[in-house]
Amino acid sequence: MQNDDVSTQLRTLGFRSSLAVLRSLIEHSTQQRLSVVQFCEKLAEVERRERELKNLAARMRQATLGKFKTIDRFDWNHPKKIDRDVYESLHSTLDFIERGENILFRGPSGVGKTTLAQNLGLAAITRGYTVRFASLAAIITDLVRRDSLPHLERTIKNKYLAPKLLIIDELGYLPCDRHAADLLYNIVTRRHEDKSVVITTNLPFKLWGTVFPGAACVAALVDRFAQHCHIFDIEADSWRQQTPKPKTAKVKS
């Protein structure tokens, strides 16, 4: 009963470990006759692990990475062209995040651009960084529905400026207007040389203007994004075309 009281008090004080874990630790420490210092060390270690797990779970929820194939299952033999060594170096060190550098994955649909970007996001989350993943269409939809400039500014700051790594998926797949171009330019410019942006696209830089017809900021947008940027041009057949189609059962007449 006394152990239960201490466990409950620890929870009341803000310890995140469950009552069951705290009770087990107290019981073990009592049986082993640990000193006060030894018990405190074990308590601190248990609490640290619990907080790390919960913080990791929170960062995963905030990142909205979605479902994807992890990098250990990526078939590097499939692309005809891709700089695997550079990618693996960036993935393992994540130095580009500390330097505020950008990454571009460019290639036709279905060649793994999004998967590679999502895996960078996952690696960053596990190393303690905050990440946000969204398609360009989703970002623009999210921002244009804000009913006031203060609301818009709060959304930009909290969702698209605060994360250490922002991943913008599918630039070039849907046309956008000049207002959308201004919003993207706003985000990229304010993150420039401070926080990293990853973009996946099917278009070379010279065709980004076709996504935002009439937008005057496209050249400046490209200039800022490309200044400190690792570019991965991927040549491959679509993964989706390689997936066997299910056989259709023949119906006897």
What is the model's pLDDT at position 240?
67
What is the model's pLDDT at position 122?
97
What is the model's pLDDT at position 253?
35
Specify the higher pLDDT residue, 142 or 58: 142
Looking at 48-62, 76-90, 103-117, 163-177, which range is the least confident one?
Answer: 48-62
What is the model's pLDDT at position 2?
56
Mean pLDDT taken over the chain: 91
Specify the higher pLDDT residue, 27 or 167: 167
Specify the higher pLDDT residue, 12 or 95: 95
Provide mean pLDDT across the span 15-23: 87
Where does the pLDDT of residue 243 fall: very low under 50, low under 70, confident under 90, or very high at 90 and above? low
% of residues, the chain, pLDDT over 90: 74
Q: What angle do CA 180, 184, 186 make, to 5 degrees?
A: 115
Q: Which fold has domain 71-240?
A: Rossmann fold (3.40.50)
pLDDT at 88 over 70: yes
% of residues, the chain, pLDDT over 70: 93
